[in-house]
Structure 1
């Protein structure tokens, strides 16, 4: 009896097309590693282990690794191939940037399946998240740099040789979060739910020749006679602009009766911003560079089509243009998926952390570590909960955000003066990869609870003070917290007292 992959290969050959093989099981996660879409990695995980399935468009070997720096040095590497119908997976470690990765003394990878299908090599294997092996790297919820490579031929002997690895020009690195509980459409959408879409995009916007520019684009949402729920947000990044579109926020405009400048642009936060934009200040969606699609949980969605729901929004796009190019014309944005099949809860989002300020957010130069704190105090959070009749909130996802100096970001949860397990943390923060993270289990915020956002900065490459601000070269310390049931609280932040700060530095304030 033909196995599914053998039958699939026959069908592909019969159609005279090079087909992508099916996966051997349903995987909640996947990422295409290279621009040519040669290497794709699929994975599932549980509390103790992770299962990978590599699909490489080659009849040679394929390899992935977890690297502290993005190079082979000190990386935890797994390389596999199928030769003469026999599949092999090897556990290896990198010793230098471009050197040969020898096999580990202890092999902590378990081969599950391997095959060659219509020009693809497929290797499926499992390993523990924590192996207690000094030659391996623990797999955590932090951002990791996944290195990858492939060769066009199988090893000549029983193992890859130095030449196989050294000569492989097909290689690269990609930042990902392996242990993000969020999954694919198949996992996150309720069965039978109806979906509609609309796009919020910049309209051929000519990005100024400036290092940093914030564009605000005013958009009218589709008319809805009845209540709907927003259930998924997908980035639409114009090809070639992946490193220019740093982050996008969507703001709810509350004074819709006086809005006339639909589809118009304005410089965000400028003194001459038109009145039409002034009421657009409550964030409903946040996306940042490197992030993928964001799904709401099956039992919650952001409400649309109600009397108090947004009819107009502002798409804020932070353009990063370090080369000061004058020829960037961009139509990037976000695609909204919404449904008339209402879910149980209305969800909201609040911005938590340190107020963006150049007066009270001061980071010294040449510091290996410097901590910045922002508080969502129990008075701020609790008073809004009490006012809106909410005894508790359920947090389900968090986006952590800082700029170039950020190294470790943590959102803490405090109750009655006692620190509970953190809500979100990334000990290997990557400015170019900012993914919204689902919590492994929803967390309850009660009246009287508070949140503390902590950013650990490294300024060893700076010779001058870094201030808080909007520019990429300035800093922020923020998180965007997704929760339900929805409240009107959009910001819960703090900043240092300016007079106390000046007093600390011995500066007299003349009134």
Structure 2
């Protein structure tokens, strides 16, 4: 039997797991603690089980020379990870205090379980097994037709669970799997109340770079900020709207009146972070928000001033065309790299925040004060950020009508021609994040990069789009 720190050399030289049973799953029993020093370390961890688990305290027998990275997922949950010596396989380990039941880690295209690739460790007939499962919806994840997970070790002692598995960095067989790359991506953890696989009792989502390990987050607690908040608007469709269940309302903001001391609207400055502020009393109705920069002539001609409301705003006011920040359900704060900032100022005062609300039951009396917080970098950064929007098939001018009653329908691809990209003046464009948005009917989206008629790759891999989990993610 292997322990947490004793990896079989053969495990790093095969793609398919060893010792599959009739269901294609790998069985590896671990009924006793690892021997020698690992046993002593485990014992030390069990004696302190009442306290919060901490990395490298010996809990589970994980040693840093074998498991180079560790992330605390919850006060009682630790994930250990790192590439194996061949850099062809990834080691994933989990330690959970005071738990007896199945446990899992997952690679996800977003923060939800739709499209997630799960690695489940549980007991069957008294033996630990590792299973690779896949979620197609908010239903029980099914076993992958082929299994590419190998159980290194597993133990259930002192009321705690510890295990390690080995998975290929790139899948060897087909199926909906995610390559493990040197970039931060969504992952999930989940726990079950018993070893029979069923609905989770606890779960969580997080980001991790499994190759390079944890990164240091920029401390912005002392940075100045400004809020653009809808002024307690009534969530009802304005005159000229098309659908009472989907009102679009805009708030107009004069940033000069919102700037903190020391910021001059005539000077250029950078926003380092965008954070959605969602009114908890109306959060269920907030579908998306988009912040646009506006030219003053369009607003002045319509008589708009600071905190004016545009009651019907599916089409933006004239001159409000430069997108600065998009947000949709499930999005996290947008934190730009430390050398990148979204440019503001330089005399541009006026902004429009477009709010799309979704009120399918036409509830009355709904009011909203949601918006965005702009966190300013203390100094100008090296690179300017911008938003590039691909819009394909969203109206009848781009496609024929979609036939009724179709379970699946694939829209014709939209191509940005080389005549367009060749006109770009920048020496190079670095993509820092990609987000998909397809309202409630979209199932799967992708953006392919083609250079000289050769496919370079997919910009972001998300097997299944999930309206409840839309977020800006680093490109593949």
1:196 alignment partner, one of 224, 228, 234: 224
Displacement of 1:215 in angstroms is 1.8
1:305 partnered with 2:333: no
CA displacement, residues 459-490 of structure 1 (integer Å, 9 cap, x when unaligned): xxxxxxxxxxxxxxxxxxxxxxxxxxxxxxxx
| Cα distance, 1:240–1:125 mapped onto 2, change above 3 Å | farther
1:237 partnered with 2:275: no
Displacement of 1:301 in angstroms is 1.0
Q: Check whether the contact 1:188–1:295 (CA below 8 A) recurs between aligned residues.
A: no
Distance in 2 between residues matched to 1:198 and 1:5, nearest whole Å: 51
Kindly report which structure 2 residues correspond to 1:405-416, keeping only aligned pairs within 5 A, or say none. 405-416=441-452
1:139 partnered with 2:178: yes
1:432 partnered with 2:468: yes
Displacement of 1:211 in angstroms is 1.9
Displacement of 1:344 in angstroms is 1.0
SS at match of 1:379: helix
Kindly report which structure 2 residues correspond to 1:208-357, keeping only aligned pairs within 5 A, or say none. 208=236, 210-221=244-255, 222-223=258-259, 224-225=263-264, 226-239=267-280, 243-255=284-296, 258=300, 260-269=304-313, 277-307=317-347, 310-354=348-392, 356-357=394-395
* Paired residue total: 394
- For 1:206, the equivalent position in structure 2 comes to 234
- For 1:400, the equivalent position in structure 2 comes to 436
CA displacement, residues 406-438 of structure 1 (integer Å, 9 cap, x when unaligned): 233122334445443333343322222222121
Distance in 2 between residues matched to 1:230 and 1:5, nearest whole Å: 49
1:363 alignment partner, one of 402, 414, 417: 402
Distance in 2 between residues matched to 1:91 and 1:427, nearest whole Å: 23
- Which runs of 5 or more structure 1 residues have no equivalent in the other structure? 14-18, 32-36, 82-87, 441-511
Distance in 1 between residues matched to 2:430 and 2:356, nearest whole Å: 29
Displacement of 1:146 in angstroms is 5.6
Displacement of 1:396 in angstroms is 2.6
- Which runs of 5 or more structure 2 residues have no equivalent in the other structure? 1-36, 57-63, 238-243
Q: Check whether the contact 1:216–1:267 (CA below 8 A) recurs between aligned residues.
A: yes
TM-score using structure 2 length: 0.63
Displacement of 1:212 in angstroms is 1.1
CA displacement, residues 176-214 of structure 1 (integer Å, 9 cap, x when unaligned): 887799998x5453x899632223333333322832121
Displacement of 1:289 in angstroms is 1.6
Displacement of 1:27 in angstroms is 7.4
CA displacement, residues 208-265 of structure 1 (integer Å, 9 cap, x when unaligned): 2832121211223233225322122223333475553222111001217837522232
Distance in 1 between residues matched to 2:276 and 2:72, nearest whole Å: 16
CA displacement, residues 38-90 of structure 1 (integer Å, 9 cap, x when unaligned): 9978687777555656676854335236599x999997442369xxxxxx974
Per residue, is there more strand in 1 or in 2?
A: 1
- For 1:170, the equivalent position in structure 2 comes to 201
SS at match of 2:419: helix
| Cα distance, 1:398–1:76 mapped onto 2, change above 3 Å | closer
Kindly report which structure 2 residues correspond to 1:89-100, keeping only aligned pairs within 5 A, or say none. 90-92=129-131
Distance in 2 between residues matched to 1:370 and 1:100, nearest whole Å: 25
Distance in 1 between residues matched to 2:44 and 2:165, nearest whole Å: 19
Displacement of 1:282 in angstroms is 1.0
Distance in 1 between residues matched to 2:165 and 2:448, nearest whole Å: 35
Distance in 2 between residues matched to 1:216 and 1:176, nearest whole Å: 32
Q: Check whether the contact 2:52–2:75 (CA below 8 A) recurs between aligned residues.
A: no
Kindly report which structure 2 residues correspond to 1:400-479, keeping only aligned pairs within 5 A, or say none. 400-440=436-476
Distance in 2 between residues matched to 1:346 and 1:199, nearest whole Å: 21
Q: Check whether the contact 1:180–1:437 (CA below 8 A) recurs between aligned residues.
A: no
CA displacement, residues 478-511 of structure 1 (integer Å, 9 cap, x when unaligned): xxxxxxxxxxxxxxxxxxxxxxxxxxxxxxxxxx
Distance in 1 between residues matched to 2:282 and 2:164, nearest whole Å: 34
User: What is the alpha-carbon root mean square deviation over aligned residues?
Assistant: 5.2
Kindly report which structure 2 residues correspond to 1:60-99, keeping only aligned pairs within 5 A, or say none. 60-61=100-101, 63-64=103-104, 76-79=118-121, 90-92=129-131
